[in-house]
Structure 1
Amino acid sequence: MMGTAAAVAGVVLLTLFFDYTNGFHDASNAIASAVSTRALSLRGALILAGVMNLLGALLSTGVAVTVAKGLIDPPKGTAALSVVFAAVLGAIVWNLITWYFGLPSSSSHALVGGLVGAALASAGTVHWGGVVEKVLVPMVLSPVVGLVLGYAAMVSVLWALRRRNQHRVGHTFRRLQVVSAASLALGHGLQDAQKGMGIIVLALVASGYQQLYTVPIWVTLLCAAALGLGTYSGGLRIMRTLGRRVFPLDPPHGFVAEAVGSSVLYLTAFVFAAPVSTTHVITSAVMGVGATRRLSAVRWGVARDIVLGWLLTFPAAGVVAALAYGITRLAGG
């Protein structure tokens, strides 16, 4: 039992580290546009995002339950914890690689890819119906929705404000961006902290420490704190890509992109309990609002590189997780 307890503790600690890397990897999602438009200082934006991430993590556990029981059934015995450990390790490695190159890939899909890769390597069961319905379909639809809604909402705002003083409009929207950035950070916490919760619950059930796929309050608080601390540590490399290189945002465009992004995150978390990517949603919303100025205003070459990162994330994290599982089992884990 002591060996099992140590293995569970190892999974918990690794998952908290994943949440921390998720925080600094995805911090830019919530604050890049607000910082680039000078609506918030970098320090103020990071504090705001960290606090809102923490609060968002306390709002729901629906996505956590999906991750814990809707995607894989690991093999029985000690191999189950090796699967969970390898899955998280695969996601962390991919997070660090994409962070180093400044590529805003999805921590969410890295984690799911890790789960699938480790489960396949262990001859566990992958619930492909759940993976397709809860992960792959939302992975495709959420950026499309973000792009279309971003474009439509921006067109509506531009038409409504076409006769207003543009200096005053910019000043007003710079203030409103504080609200939209906070809303997006809340949605990020709502979505991303729950994935770590789901992993820990999966480990607790697989090891026999609990039978039901419910999230203990200590798990919620630990994951929320890790994500919030990671967010506060920042992610300047990715922030430059999202805030300036995709499309040079001004306050109205930034506000609309953030408002659209947070709306999609709330809808998918509360209504569908689907683990969608904050990165996918906000990046596509930025592209959508940017396209209203003119199509050439969006740097589609950068966007192409980001999409390539999206497509690589799921299989790459899966391969790393499968290798990690094999190494763990060979080492007697």
Structure 2
Amino acid sequence: MDLVVALVVVVVAVALFFDFTNGFHDAANAIATSVSTRALTPRLAVAMAAAMNLLGALLGTGVAQTIGSGIISPPSGVAGLAVVLAGLGGAIAWNLLTWWFGLPSSSTYALIGGLAGAGIAAGTTVHWDVLAGLVALPMVLSLVLGLVLGYVGMVGVLWAVHRRAFAPTMRRFRMAQSVSAAAMALGHGLQDAQKTMGVITLALVAGGLHQGPSIPLWVTIVAAIAIAAGTYAGGWRIMRTLGRRVIELDPARGFVAESVAASLLYGAAYLFHAPVSTTQTITAAIMGVGATRRLSAVRWGVAGKIGVAWVLTIPGAGLTAAALAALFGLLGA
């Protein structure tokens, strides 16, 4: 088998492994609040999230095209494939590290940081304008909007139901959470599976097996299956952090947090083709709804640790990927 084709196969396999780790790393994004409020059983929640991830991954390719052609422009052949492989290696290493410590860091920004770090180390063109406009700006906005809309939405809900009996109202919100959790899982598939589609397409272009930013159908299908399988595998460490350690959620707050986060994911994907972090978005929304109880209700110490993980994600994954790219360069890739 030709060396370039063999490397493409390796990169595709590693990208799908990253997609799988993304699924189990981020499973908590969609279902932690529903499980913690007992709206869904863990087994049912994981199965539902996997199915909605699969469906969401098939609903668009705008984010995939941003990742596939907008972050870096690697050279063709072995050198370009080595850059993509190093980027994936940095992202996977960061995903596994933060999963082990139960920190809901962003797989999205791990991948972007990995690609950028590998690109810099290898002297590849990095599109800083895209990183500023479609990565950095949405990253800040999704955090701010998650906090603000979570708070405002929860205030509105509290005002609307303040005269109603507590127990029946919470039962209704617990039922509604099944819908909001499904919407969140759909948004996770829509956003995160597309990032793997983009990387695979980037590798196909570097290997001379595909032209242009369009995403091949088979790439969409295998990426959808991989992230759904990873989600079904679970992600219980991070689920505990999001579902209970940031704040004790009731069904109403869980419903609002999931609804706000899902709306932001859809808007970023369809309106701007911007890759945003599902982890960051749902965590910000959880903190926003929690602050309506009282500011001290949010466990800011845990939130601070999550924030540190976010800040370190892009440079951490980038440095790891840069080291791999340098190693591949020494090996003659």
TM-score for the superposition, normalised by structure 2? 0.99
One-letter amino acid of the counterpart of residue 59, structure 1:
L
Give me the whole-angstrom Cα distance separating, in 2, the residues matched to 1:329 and 1:123: 11
* Aligned positions of 1:118-267 closer than 5 A: 118-267=118-267
Do structure 1's residue 87 and structure 2's residue 87 form an aligned pair? Answer: yes
- How far apart are residue 210 of structure 1 and its match? 1.2
- How far apart are residue 188 of structure 1 and its match? 0.2
* Aligned positions of 1:291-310 closer than 5 A: 291-310=291-310
- How far apart are residue 212 of structure 1 and its match? 1.3
- How far apart are residue 211 of structure 1 and its match? 1.2
Q: Give structure 2 stretches of 5+ with no counterpart.
A: none
Q: Give structure 1 stretches of 5+ with no counterpart.
A: none
Deviations, residues 5-27 of structure 1 (Å, cap 9, x unaligned): 10000000000000000000000
Deviations, residues 234-263 of structure 1 (Å, cap 9, x unaligned): 111101110000010110000000000000
Give me the whole-angstrom Cα distance separating, in 2, the residues matched to 1:77 and 1:38: 51
Contact 1:58–1:220 at 8 Å: present in 2 too? yes
Give me the whole-angstrom Cα distance separating, in 1, the residues matched to 2:77 and 2:39: 52
Give me the whole-angstrom Cα distance separating, in 2, the residues matched to 1:211 and 1:73: 13
One-letter amino acid of the counterpart of residue 127, structure 1:
H
1:40 corresponds to which residue? 40
- How far apart are residue 75 of structure 1 and its match? 2.9
1:318 corresponds to which residue? 318
* Aligned positions of 1:47-62 closer than 5 A: 47-62=47-62
* Aligned positions of 1:278-297 closer than 5 A: 278-297=278-297
One-letter amino acid of the counterpart of residue 48, structure 2:
L
RMSD of Structure 2 on Structure 1 (CA): 0.8
Alignment partner of 1:208: what SS?
coil
Deviations, residues 36-55 of structure 1 (Å, cap 9, x unaligned): 00000100000000000000
Give me the whole-angstrom Cα distance separating, in 1, the residues matched to 2:71 and 2:133: 10
TM-score for the superposition, normalised by structure 1? 0.99
Moved over 6 A (4+): none
Contact 1:75–1:122 at 8 Å: present in 2 too? no
Give me the whole-angstrom Cα distance separating, in 1, the residues matched to 2:78 and 2:294: 56
Give me the whole-angstrom Cα distance separating, in 2, the residues matched to 1:116 and 1:160: 46
Alignment partner of 2:247: what SS?
coil
Give me the whole-angstrom Cα distance separating, in 1, the residues matched to 2:81 and 2:287: 40
Deviations, residues 21-79 of structure 1 (Å, cap 9, x unaligned): 00000000000000000000100000000000000000000000000111111134321
Give me the whole-angstrom Cα distance separating, in 2, the residues matched to 1:73 and 1:195: 16
Alignment partner of 1:75: what SS?
coil
Give me the whole-angstrom Cα distance separating, in 2, the residues matched to 1:125 and 1:137: 21
